[in-house]
Structure 1
């Protein structure tokens, strides 16, 4: 019987990863490509020792829950129209206000962010990181940015980013070569934190 071969890709340590751990994207779908790269970038940042800050996500979930409760209360209120007219108007107003707040959080805080972190433990920097990315539709150019979670802080560093074609990280079958992507993202984080200069 002829021996079987398994496709492998490099990992951070220059070793190999089993086919089960491969990350594959549909190269004809920019959303699929971005999802794979964003997921990998988040993992790389956390493996560098950063801890994810989920406070903003929790706030959005909380607001979403409030919006759902308002809608349910308005739907099942025990008075019928027109007796519940004022109550329904109040619910509609609250529904609109909370939805606007939710949208403002997405526009002003999240933007293109894929990950928020706490400050690195033991670091002199008192702010965490915001990792954001862009991959325009019908484009192969992926941009990833590392910036401060609190730009107004005196310890905030200048944002750093790079733009590169996704063809540099994927095989023709759509498999992410994590070793190459790891090096690029890790280099960017080191540029932001100043580790490369220190070294």
Structure 2
């Protein structure tokens, strides 16, 4: 497995524009997704599908309002209905993003060969004008009996990138895998 990682790093190194924090965060998030799914977690795309479905409805409403066969004074009630529906569906979409998604970059199902009954929610932050990247791993169902405590680390992005903006995947993989191992560790029993 180690040879595979180093081969892929040599063939297609991941590069980010070091002057663009969005590029840095995207590169790191993409690597985190590869690492977590490589550990046996399968991505859960249900929330993404709900968001896409709501977005499709919103676009359909806008298209109906734009291309309705009657002109303005005659279609006033229809336009009002379209505007109200557009606002309602956008509010539902924003509510889902705000309450469920937050800073999440990956939702997973539990691994197939484990006794854990909850998947993971992996989220990250790279604040504006900051070089400190925070990665958090938590249970997708925190109220479950098999849910572990969330774990996180905050490190400077400068330790994972060369001066040319190439991600040193070995260092980053090591840090992320250590965080996953920390999350998967059994909680200590209190006496």
Scaled by the length of structure 2, the TM-score of the pair is: 0.92
- Partner Cα distance (2:9, 2:177) in 1: 22
Q: Of 92, 95, 103, which aligns to 2:86? A: 95
Instruction: Kindly state the Cα deviation for residue 17 of structure 1 after the two structures are TM-superposed.
Output: 4.4
Counterpart of 1:183 in structure 2 is 174
Cα 1:33–1:18, aligned 2, differ >3 Å: closer, same or farther? closer
- Partner Cα distance (2:2, 2:174) in 1: 8
Counterpart of 2:52 in structure 1 is 61
Aligned-pair RMSD on alpha carbons?
1.9
Counterpart of 2:67 in structure 1 is 76
Counterpart of 2:107 in structure 1 is 116
Instruction: Kindly state the Cα deviation for residue 190 of structure 1 after the two structures are TM-superposed.
Output: 1.0
Instruction: Kindly state the Cα deviation for residue 20 of structure 1 after the two structures are TM-superposed.
Output: 3.3
Aligned residues: 187
In structure 1, stretches of 5+ residues that fail to align are 1-10
1:106 matched to 2:69? The reply is: no
Counterpart of 2:31 in structure 1 is 40
Instruction: Kindly state the Cα deviation for residue 127 of structure 1 after the two structures are TM-superposed.
Output: 0.9
Equivalent position SS for 1:133: strand
1:22 matched to 2:5? The reply is: no
Instruction: Kindly state the Cα deviation for residue 123 of structure 1 after the two structures are TM-superposed.
Output: 1.4
| Conservation of the 8 A alpha-carbon contact between 2:9 and 2:169 | no
Instruction: Kindly state the Cα deviation for residue 86 of structure 1 after the two structures are TM-superposed.
Output: 1.2
- Partner Cα distance (1:96, 1:195) in 2: 46
Instruction: Kindly state the Cα deviation for residue 155 of structure 1 after the two structures are TM-superposed.
Output: 1.7
- Partner Cα distance (1:12, 1:139) in 2: 32
In structure 2, stretches of 5+ residues that fail to align are none
Counterpart of 2:148 in structure 1 is 157
Cα 1:22–1:15, aligned 2, differ >3 Å: closer, same or farther? closer
- Partner Cα distance (1:149, 1:160) in 2: 13
